[in-house]
Amino acid sequence: MSEGTAAPTRSVAWFDSSLVALCLGSLAVIVAGGLIQVSFGAYSMSIAEAWQAVLDPTVLLDPQAWRAFLLGGQLPEMGNQSLIVWNIRLPRVFVAVLVGMNLAVSGSIFQAVTRNELASPFILGVSSGAGLMILLTLVLFSGLSTFLPIIAAVGGSVAFLIVYVIAWQNGTSPVRLVLAGVIVGTVFNSLQTAMFFFADNIGVVQSAIAWTTGSLTGTDWEQVRLALPWTVLAMGLALVSSRQLNVLLLGERTAKSLGMRVETVRFALSGVAVLAAAASIAVAGIVGFVGLIVPHMVRTVVGSDYKRLVVGCLFAGPALMVVADVGARLGMQLLTGASSQIPVGIVTGLVGGPYFLYLMRRQDNLGDV
Amino acid sequence: MTGNDSQLRSAVSDARDDAMLAGEQLTLGYGDTRIIDGESLAVDPGSVTALVGPNGSGKSTLLKGLADQLAPRSGSVLLDGREVSDYDAKSLAQRLGLLSQERTSPESITVEDLVYHGRYPHRGFFDPPNDDDQRAVERALDLAGCDHLRDREVGSLSGGQKQLAWIAMALAQETDVLLLDEPTTFLDLHHQLEVLEIIETLRDESDVTVVVVLHDLEQAARLADHVVALRDGEIRARGSPESVVTEDLLADVFAVDADVTWAERGPRITPLRARHDETDEEPARQPTLEQPTD
């Protein structure tokens, strides 16, 4: 009860055992999935060799190598195995981690902003705007395709702004925002589908499908470099905004009578969520279901306090994404023996749909945040 | 600006650091419908004012107008002589609190966490809760009598316990003026009395100015220093409970024939029959989706 002790206890007490368990469990899954990714592939090596390459001190402790990874530039000399692990297989795992946390945290923010548990990072038009720009770039303006990641991210953000403008009428409301998202999504998706008719070869169509369903094929350090700064920024902002998210959950009127400028906070938080979603689109395309399902999974374990929820999403999102990418990269090989890969978005949908069914059967009150 | 204000206040006065709230010629409404049409209302510092009236009479709308949750079409609301719309959101929320009828919260939030949200206007963006916050929360939990519920999840509480938790949140806000929208509606008798006792404590032991919407006239008369009776968005009577709660008022405002007798503890109202002669005079206001029923 004494004043000195209770306040600090309160400030760390939220990091409770269920959250710790979730984070450690997710880390274990990420490490296991990462090791599988590193060990298997066209150049096969044993688990022990893979471990050795991952922990190779000549790479791990070499500042020049890290400079090359994170800032670009000349790679130092390294062995074949180390080269394959460090330059091809590991960066793909890192990209999966970044994409997973971006999507999960983005989804959790949109679920608070729209006060709707079925919200995803793409509920306010981001995916349809990005998808349309992807198709336009691939089909009509193929000269710009080197800028595709940026164009896609910008397209998503612009679509979000259009949604906000449509929804605005002396302020917004969660319902109006979602409706405006449906309006913009419907129109842009139609245009996107129409663009497929103008594609002149199957390669362009496959590339478009890979982008619009989300794929990590061929990602390397360049994608890590592209996404990392935005991810750090968005995740940091999400973490410090958790109390705003919690108050927003008390309803607009209560939030307002507590002195929150609801419209400003709602727009700013949406902006953070769009930033995270755009960062993931730029490196992996439009990966569905992760942003919808992960906040759910985390909520069932740690409850709906956003301090815990955001931290949980930072770990659980990457876990789901890394595992799904194992399926996307190696699944076809296991099933058919063919060495082709499928877009990771197909796997997340295959995993996410049944999980949702399970949740729906188990929880009566699905839909309430 | 706001820091200066509070310094100024504390420097100038121990004599009058309590607030006064006044609505002047207020016209309030939603969309095309006017609910309140040019009414004025002044609330004395430290007093308890009860708003009474039938469903749809505009009580909640008036309360929202006073709390700056609904911008008036015309007229103004003054808190300590300054327009409420001129305060920035947080400094207004430090001085004026509204417990609306909106009750949405995640099921799994604990009572203590909910009450801590009452400290929102007192905390900066990055501030962790400090000793003041903790003291205010303890005091609010104690005053609202839900100390024993602090670790319970809100979703697991009964309706009455939930109400106490929400009142504790509003109390933790530590405002000079507290507006309560139907705090006793839908509660069992025990919890109705608990809520009324909290307001009595505020009246007797603090300087907090309270405006409360009540459905029960007897409760309003026992609790309040002033009673304001509304019908169809018009203030029909105001003053001391004795002068307002009369048989004539029940006929005029509530369209009810009743016997009113005054006993030591307040009025005793025995409703006899609903009056049908005047009820057709104006069709009942149809609330639309976004409007509350009052």
Torsion-angle region of residue B26: left (phi > 0), alpha (psi -120 to 50) or beta? beta
CB contact under 8 A, A303 and B129: no
Among B91, B103, B120, the residue with its CB nearest the CB of A258 is B120
Asked if the model's pLDDT at residue B291 lies above 70, the reply is no
Please give the mean pLDDT across all residues of chain B.
86
B177-180 and B209-213 beta bridge pairing? parallel
Share of chain B above pLDDT 70, in %: 87
- A contact test, residue of B101, B117, B177 with most A CBs within 10 A: B117
CB-CB contact of B64 with B144 (8 Å): no
State the pLDDT at residue B293: 47
Among A246, A252, A253, the residue with its CB nearest the CB of B117 is A246
Asked if the model's pLDDT at residue B278 lies above 70, the reply is no
Sign of CA dihedral A112, A114, A119, A123: negative
Sign of CA dihedral A21, A26, A29, A35: negative
State the pLDDT at residue A365: 60
- Residue (of A345, A332, A346) closest to A285 by Cα position: A345
| Number of other residues whose CB lies within 10 A of the CB of residue A345 | 26
Residues near A298 by Cβ (< 8 Å), separated by ≥ 6?
A22, A104, A108, A308, A309, A312, A313, A316
> In this predicted model, what pLDDT tens digit does every residue of B107-130 receive, in sequence order?
889 999 999 999 999 999 888 899
> In this predicted model, what pLDDT tens digit does every residue of B126-167 receive, in sequence order?
888 999 999 999 999 999 999 999 999 999 999 999 999 999
CA dist., res. B293 & res. B57, Å (int): 9
Helix pair A290-302, A344-362: axis angle to 10 deg: 40
CB contact under 8 A, A258 and B100: no
Helix pair A306-336, A221-240: axis angle to 10 deg: 150
Give the A-side interface with B, CB within 8 Å. 3, 6-7, 10-11, 115, 240, 243, 246-247, 249-254, 256-261, 303-305, 365, 368-369
Side-chain-side CA neighbours of residue A212 (13 Å):
24
Cα angle: B231, vertex B236, B237; to 5 degrees: 130
Local confidence band at B289 (pLDDT 50, 70, 90 cut-offs): very low
> In this predicted model, what pLDDT tens digit does every residue of B23-43 receive, in sequence order?
999 999 988 888 999 999 999
CB contact under 8 A, A258 and B121: yes
CB-CB contact of B241 with B256 (8 Å): no
Amino acid at A365: N
A337 vs B186: which has the higher pLDDT? B186
CB contact under 8 A, A304 and B92: no
- According to DSSP, residue B40 is labeled E
CB-CB contact of A282 with A226 (8 Å): yes
- A contact test, residue of B73, B105, B141, B178 with most A CBs within 10 A: B105
- Residue (of A76, A83, A1, A102) closest to A43 by Cα position: A83
Asked if the model's pLDDT at residue B283 lies above 60, the reply is no
Residue by residue, DSSP assigns A96-161 as HHHHHHHHHHHHHHHHHHTT-TT--TTTTSHHHHHHHHHHIIIII-GGGGGGHHHHHHHHHHHHHH
CA dist., res. A355 & res. A340, Å (int): 26
Residues near B45 by Cβ (< 8 Å), separated by ≥ 6?
B16, B18, B19, B20, B207, B209
Q: For B182-185, which contacts have Cβ atoms below 8 Å and span 24 or more sequence positions?
A: B182/B60, B182/B101, B182/B213, B182/B214, B182/B215, B182/B294, B183/B99, B183/B212, B184/B214, B184/B215, B184/B216, B184/B219, B185/B101, B185/B215
* Residue A241 C-alpha, separation from nearest chain B C-alpha, in angstroms: 8
For residue A358, count CB atoms less than 10 angstroms from its CB and return exposed for 0-12, middle for 13-18, buried for 19 or more.
Answer: exposed
CB contact under 8 A, A258 and B105: no
State the pLDDT at residue B168: 96
CA dist., res. B237 & res. B254, Å (int): 12
- Residue (of B294, B87, B59, B50) closest to B175 by Cα position: B87
B74-79 and B82-83 beta bridge pairing? antiparallel
Chain B residues in contact with A272 by the CB 8 A cut-off are none
CB contact under 8 A, A257 and B99: yes
Among B97, B104, B107, the residue with its CB nearest the CB of A257 is B97
Among B100, B104, B120, the residue with its CB nearest the CB of A260 is B120
Question: Which chain A residue is nearest to residue B68, measuring alpha carbons?
Answer: A257
Q: For B199-203, which contacts have Cβ atoms below 8 Å and span 24 or more sequence positions?
A: B199/B48, B199/B223, B201/B143, B202/B48, B202/B143, B202/B178, B203/B46, B203/B47, B203/B48
- A contact test, residue of B79, B87, B104, B150 with most A CBs within 10 A: B104
CB pairs under 8 A between A and B: 82
CB contact under 8 A, B107 and A115: no
CB-CB contact of A347 with A320 (8 Å): no
Residue by residue, DSSP assigns A236-249 as HHHHHTHHHHHHHT
**pTM as predicted:** 0.88
CB contact under 8 A, A259 and B108: no
Mean pLDDT in each 10-residue stretch from start to end of chain A (369 residues)? 47 82 97 92 84 87 89 84 90 96 96 89 92 91 87 94 93 92 94 89 90 91 93 96 94 94 95 94 93 92 93 97 95 80 92 84 63
Chain B residues in contact with A246 by the CB 8 A cut-off are 109, 113, 117
Share of chain B above pLDDT 90, in %: 73
Among B98, B125, B133, the residue with its CB nearest the CB of A257 is B98
Phi and psi for B49 in degrees, rounded to 5?
Answer: -115, 130
State the pLDDT at residue A192: 92
CA dist., res. A245 & res. A240, Å (int): 10
Both tokens of B83, joined, read 């327009």
Does residue B146 sit in helix, strand or coil? coil
CA dist., res. A164 & res. A132, Å (int): 18
